[in-house]
């Protein structure tokens, strides 16, 4: 499991101390004022039950004298005084308890808010996406987020739970003090030991049980996935069409049993026999104390008054009830820090992988070239080399297209250009200057990038476009201009609130778009970035969801809209690629061929073979009477996994 697993070399006592210190350190983030209020409320809530026990015992002891003296006697007045103290203590508990709940919840929410801020800041603040694609980091993040999102067993709840222990142990100290002062300090010590043994059994057992749960987190996440798969709409159509209902229920059931059976076994091992012995000790202590109290109250030479007897018995029984499970403390303190452990692991991994930031230097406008010089790269944790000594020049102001098979490195090259990763070796230069010498945020401001798996934000259509240059979200005219440019005006005007419609059906007044319309939104986003000072456009499969005719029309318009920009285009459609000024064929992580469309066809190399294979597999019947040039006969490659050269042509690289 992702969160640190403890045990073995670390003893139970040392572990308990370490966890308590961690919770205490985290609790400070709630603020001194709120912590002081929570401590005060918990001390008060711990003291009031002791006052109530003492007052009721005194009340019981005064009854005989009050009954004998009558309503006008001093004994009756003393009885009433004890009654009012007991009543005030009882009412005080009813008033303070919900206050303690509210203050504790405020402590928990404030701390969890701070932790969530840490997680969001770390997740969004990395210059590289590498850590966020690390399976261990992703698992840490999922574990932390699961508890933080539900506000149950979270780090904040652990802190509030530890503060709540103050009230419980204030009660225990008070009851023990009463028994010791009135009857016997040895008996008081025996009661405390009995309670602490029960508490040790509960807390130790709960921690061991929680460790088993943590070890089975992978199985629990699998069950979460199966539940979501079964009830969400994403797979609903296929589940019904393919008749997967019965299989899914059966698989889900067996998966849950694989998770539950070890938990049941662990629960029996942890709780059954240990609690037999704890119970035996508690009963022995209770019987001994009660026998001694009875002897002291009724035996020869009895020296306990009725008040003393009631006080000791009530205090002893009340103390023993404190050996129970503490709903407000035990589970949160035992489990809540697990999410914080995952959070710390997540933050630590991101901090360790974050490179040093460059000095604040203004990025000049591209003037001549962007060059990849002997660039090699492999993803962290993988041995396979994606780019292997790549040399490539992108000419400023021109459109360069990349083509190649699956895994040729096209999208990886884009990630390196956007500095989402840094090259394993080699350099990327802008007009001869290593781009790593520029602040990464300033460099990215020069890029307008649309990835193949572009984001679909659940915000308004206008904001989905304006996110291309978020600093200019108020440029409504610019948003509308690029929407018109990509042919989306009619579709967006037809939404319930036009451009202000949230693009998510589950939101109030929201709507959704088709795949092709969403792709036009992404293209409009790139054009909006270009409009506001991003002179380098990177388009990764920008028209994959458009039909061939729509694609051809769009690129005729896009060529005019992006005139003068430096464009890097990735596409598996040669009808799109052929319109580029320069075409680069990647193979084996290197440049295999490059040149214009006509030059590459004349060379009769890899590009020419791929182009003709694609053209042969797609014929547009509607253009049979038109010009039968390559542009008209080329179309979309079909994608499959066969190893023939024709299916290799279909691949769109990563």
What is the per-residue pLDDT for 541? 81
Q: How far is CA 275 from CA 197, 199, 285, in A?
A: 10, 11, 15
Residue 78 lies in a domain: yes
Cβ contacts of residue 122 below 8 Å, gap of 6+?
346, 347, 350, 351
Reported as a pLDDT band with limits 50, 70 and 90, residue 371 is very high
Most confident of the following: 16-25, 247-256, 344-353: 247-256
Question: Looking at the chain, how many residues does it have?
Answer: 654
Interval 156-171: pLDDT, tens: 888 999 999 999 999 9
Residue 560 lies in a domain: no
- Cα torsion for 50, 54, 55, 61, to the nearest 10°? 160
Residue 556 lies in a domain: no
387-395/536-540 β-pairing: unpaired
Are the C-beta atoms of 587 and 515 separated by less than 8 Å? no
Q: Which of 479, 514, 534 is the last residue of a domain?
A: 534
What is the per-residue pLDDT for 652? 33
Q: What are residue 590's DSSP bridge partners?
A: 587
Higher-pLDDT residue of 581, 623:
581
Average pLDDT over residues 284-304: 71
132 and 219, same domain (yes or no): yes
Q: Which of 534, 553, 583 is the last residue of a domain?
A: 534
What is the per-residue pLDDT for 552? 66
Reported as a pLDDT band with limits 50, 70 and 90, residue 351 is low
Residue 561 lies in a domain: no
What is the per-residue pLDDT for 10? 54
Reported as a pLDDT band with limits 50, 70 and 90, residue 151 is low
The share of the chain scoring above pLDDT 90, in percent, equals 30
Sign of CA dihedral 568, 570, 575, 578: positive
431 and 467, same domain (yes or no): no
455 and 440, same domain (yes or no): no
pTM for this entry:
0.66
Decide: helix, strand or coil at residue 404: strand
The three-point CA angle 632-404-425 to 5° equals 150
From the list 230, 272, 275, the residue with the least C-alpha distance to 251 is: 230
From the list 647, 635, 417, the residue with the least C-alpha distance to 538 is: 417
Q: Which of 353, 377, 412 is the last residue of a domain?
A: 353
The yes-or-no verdict on residue 206 having pLDDT over 50 is: yes
CA 113 to chain centre: 13
Are the C-beta atoms of 386 and 444 separated by less than 8 Å? no
Average pLDDT over residues 531-538: 89
What is the per-residue pLDDT for 650? 35
Reported as a pLDDT band with limits 50, 70 and 90, residue 545 is low
Reported as a pLDDT band with limits 50, 70 and 90, residue 370 is very high
What is the per-residue pLDDT for 9? 44
Interval 388-421: pLDDT, tens: 999 999 999 999 999 988 778 888 999 999 998 8
**What is the domain range of residue 425?**
367-445+568-654
157 and 204, same domain (yes or no): yes
480 and 410, same domain (yes or no): no
Average pLDDT over residues 218-230: 83
Reported as a pLDDT band with limits 50, 70 and 90, residue 626 is very low
485 and 425, same domain (yes or no): no
Reported as a pLDDT band with limits 50, 70 and 90, residue 636 is very low
The yes-or-no verdict on residue 331 having pLDDT over 90 is: no
Residue 97 lies in a domain: yes
Interval 84-137: pLDDT, tens: 999 999 999 999 999 999 999 999 999 988 888 888 887 777 777 777 777 777
Q: Which two tokens stand for residue 419?
A: 């500095």
Average pLDDT over residues 266-289: 77
Q: What is the CATH number of the domain that holds 144?
A: 1.20.1560.10
Q: Whole-angstrom Cα distance, residue 229 to residue 454?
A: 23
Q: What is the CATH number of the domain that holds 396?
A: 3.40.50.300
Residue 527 lies in a domain: yes
Q: Whole-angstrom Cα distance, residue 146 to residue 122?
A: 17
Average pLDDT over residues 554-566: 74
Residue 578 lies in a domain: yes
227 and 121, same domain (yes or no): yes
Across the chain, mean pLDDT equals 81
Most confident of the following: 144-158, 239-253, 312-326, 470-484: 470-484
What does the DSSP 8-state code read for residue 460?
Answer: B
Q: How far is CA 145 from CA 136, 337, 394, 413, 557, in A?
A: 14, 13, 42, 32, 44
Q: Whole-angstrom Cα distance, residue 173 to residue 47?
A: 9
From the list 540, 535, 526, 584, the residue with the least C-alpha distance to 564 is: 535
54 and 192, same domain (yes or no): yes
What is the per-residue pLDDT for 359? 63
Are the C-beta atoms of 360 and 326 separated by less than 8 Å? no
Reported as a pLDDT band with limits 50, 70 and 90, residue 32 is very high
What is the per-residue pLDDT for 6? 42
- Structural domain count, the chain: 3
572 and 646, same domain (yes or no): yes
63 and 118, same domain (yes or no): yes
Q: Whole-angstrom Cα distance, residue 482 to residue 101?
A: 53
- Cα torsion for 83, 89, 92, 94, to the nearest 10°? -90
Q: Whole-angstrom Cα distance, residue 517 to residue 654?
A: 23
Average pLDDT over residues 503-527: 88
581 and 506, same domain (yes or no): no
Residue 554 lies in a domain: no
528 and 459, same domain (yes or no): yes
Q: Which residue has the tokens 């680069």?
A: 584
Q: Whole-angstrom Cα distance, residue 163 to residue 460?
A: 44
Instruction: Spell out a b/e string for 52-85, using b for 16 or more CB atoms within 10 Å of the CB, else e.
Output: bbbbbbbbbbbeeebeebeeeeebbebbeebbeb
């Amino acid at each position: 499991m992702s969160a640190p697993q403890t045990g073995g070399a670390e003893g139970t006592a040392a572990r308990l101390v370490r966890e308590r210190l961690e919770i205490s350190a985290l609790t400070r983030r709630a603020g001194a004022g709120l912590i002081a209020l929570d401590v005060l409320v918990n001390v008060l809530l711990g003291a009031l039950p002791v006052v109530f026990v003492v007052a009721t015992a005194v009340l019981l002891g005064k009854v005989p004298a009050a009954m004998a003296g009558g309503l006008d006697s001093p004994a009756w007045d003393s009885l009433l005084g004890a009654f009012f103290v007991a009543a005030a203590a009882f009412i005080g508990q009813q008033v303070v308890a919900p206050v303690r709940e509210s203050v504790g919840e405020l402590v928990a929410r404030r701390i969890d808010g701070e932790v969530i801020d840490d997680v969001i800041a770390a997740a969004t603040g990395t210059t590289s996406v590498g850590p966020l694609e690390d399976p261990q980091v992703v698992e840490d993040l999922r574990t932390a987020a699961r508890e933080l999102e539900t506000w149950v067993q979270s780090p904040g709840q652990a802190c509030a739970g530890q503060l709540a222990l103050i009230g419980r142990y204030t009660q225990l100290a008070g009851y023990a003090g009463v028994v010791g002062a009135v009857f016997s300090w040895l008996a008081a010590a025996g009661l405390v030991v009995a309670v602490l043994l029960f508490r040790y059994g509960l807390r130790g057992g709960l921690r061991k049980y929680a460790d088993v749960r943590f070890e089975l987190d992978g199985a629990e996440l699998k069950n979460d996935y199966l539940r979501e798969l079964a009830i969400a709409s994403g797979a609903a159509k296929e589940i019904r069409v393919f008749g997967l209902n019965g299989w899914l229920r059966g698989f889900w059931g067996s998966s849950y049993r694989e998770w539950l059976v070890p938990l049941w076994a662990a629960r029996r091992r942890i709780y059954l026999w240990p609690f037999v012995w704890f119970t035996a000790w508690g009963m022995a202590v209770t019987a001994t104390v009660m026998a001694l109290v009875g002897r002291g109250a009724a035996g020869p030479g009895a020296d306990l008054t009725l008040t003393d007897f009631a006080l000791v018995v009530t205090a002893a029984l009340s103390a023993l009830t404190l050996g129970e499970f503490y709903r407000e403390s035990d589970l949160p303190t035992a489990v809540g820090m697990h999410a914080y452990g995952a959070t710390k692991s997540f933050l630590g991994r991101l901090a360790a992988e974050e490179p040093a930031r460059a000095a604040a230097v203004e990025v000049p406008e591209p003037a001549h070239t962007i060059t990849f010089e002997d660039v090699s790269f492999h993803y962290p944790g993988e041995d396979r080399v994606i780019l292997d000594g790549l040399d490539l020049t992108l000419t400023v102001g021109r459109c360069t297209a990349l083509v190649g098979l699956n895994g040729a490195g096209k999208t990886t090259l884009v990630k390196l250009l956007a500095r989402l990763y840094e090259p394993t070796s080699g350099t990327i230069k802008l007009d001869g200057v290593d781009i790593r010498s520029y602040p990464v945020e300033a460099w990215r401001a020069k890029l307008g990038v649309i990835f193949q798996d572009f984001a679909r934000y659940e915000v308004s259509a206008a904001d989905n476009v304006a996110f291309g240059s978020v600093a200019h979200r108020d440029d409504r005219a610019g948003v509308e201009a690029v929407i018109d440019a990509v042919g989306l005006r009619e579709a967006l005007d037809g939404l319930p609130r036009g451009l202000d419609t949230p693009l998510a059906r589950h939101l109030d007044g929201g709507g959704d778009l088709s795949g092709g319309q969403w792709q036009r939104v992404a293209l409009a986003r790139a054009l909006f970035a270009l409009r506001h000072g991003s002179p380098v456009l990177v388009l990764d499969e920008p028209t994959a969801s458009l039909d061939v005719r729509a694609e051809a029309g769009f690129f005729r318009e896009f060529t005019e809209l992006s005139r003068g920009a430096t464009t890097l285009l990735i596409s598996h459609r040669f009808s799109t690629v052929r319109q580029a000024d320069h075409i680069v064929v990647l193979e084996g992580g290197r440049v295999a061929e490059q040149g214009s469309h006509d030059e590459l066809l004349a060379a009769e190399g890899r590009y020419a073979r791929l182009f003709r294979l694609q053209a042969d597999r797609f014929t547009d019947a509607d253009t049979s009477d038109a010009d039968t040039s390559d542009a008209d006969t080329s179309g979309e490659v079909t994608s499959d996994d066969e190893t023939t050269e024709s299916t290799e042509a279909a691949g769109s690289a990563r």
